Amino acid sequence: MGLFGLLNEEQDKFIPQLIAQAKKTNDLIIILEKFVNGNIEVESEKTDLLLTEIKEIRSVLIDDLHNTFITPIDREDIYNISNALFDMVDYGITTIEEMNILKVKPDEFIKEMISLVQRQMEELNAVMQRLSKNPRIAGDHVMEAKRLEKKVEKIYRNAIKALFEGNIDLSNLSMIFYKREVYRHISNMADKAEIAANIFGMVVMKLS
């Protein structure tokens, strides 16, 4: 019998907590994807409520870590996974804020990168769902999340190249730099997903 089968209810609550945080994180990235595709007007009240729910899940998880000595996976791994997921939430919300403040309209590069980030989050969700009973299958989802990050990075480089090649409209130079900042922000969000995937990868190795 593996460690998960030996844990009592008090000790075995961390995986459900991480699953809940991952699901809420995915909900936020879905809002971002709909936003860049023009399907919704993002209301700050809705994102604020979602952020509050995620913060509460994370706060309870960290408090429980302080009060529980035996956990299904290493305490440090639980903490780092939660932090990496929260970083994705932060980047998701600030991407919406940044695009609104800078008045950057989503182009095909932005839409494609966000779509890939959302797929990364789906893979991380799948990792959480499979981690307890099927760690090797969880490992497959880890690798897919990392592969998607490489695709985001390639699109990011192509986007920067397209932004500065050809005849540049000097009267609209500020918008070029604003858009570059949004590209960079989304690329960094994909990096955070890869960080989460790397942590999951180490956990999978320990459980396999």
pLDDT confidence of residue 135: 87
pLDDT at 180: 94
pLDDT of residue 127: 92
Q: What values do phi and psi take at 73, rounded to 5?
A: -135, 170
Domains in the chain, number: 1
Q: How many Cβ atoms from other residues are within 10 Å of residue 98's Cβ?
A: 16
The answer to whether residue 1 sits within a structural domain is no
pLDDT at 170: 66
Per-residue pLDDT at 142: 95
User: Is the residue at 4 inside a domain?
Assistant: no
Asked if residue 2 belongs to a domain, the reply is no
Report d(CA 148, CA 164) in Å as an integer. Answer: 25
Nearest one of 71, 86, 171, 156 to 121, comparing CA atoms: 86
pTM, full prediction:
0.87
Q: Which domain holds residue 97?
A: 9-207
Structural domain contains residue 202:
yes
Q: What is the CATH number of the domain that holds 147?
A: 1.20.58.220
Residue 111's pLDDT is what? 96
**pLDDT confidence of residue 42:** 67
pLDDT (tens digit, 0 to 9) for every residue of the chain, 208 residues total? 344 544 444 457 888 999 999 999 999 999 999 889 887 666 667 788 899 999 999 999 999 998 887 787 888 889 999 999 999 999 999 999 999 999 999 999 999 999 999 999 999 999 988 988 888 899 999 999 999 999 999 999 999 999 988 777 767 788 899 999 999 999 999 999 999 999 999 888 888 7
Structural domain includes residue 3: no
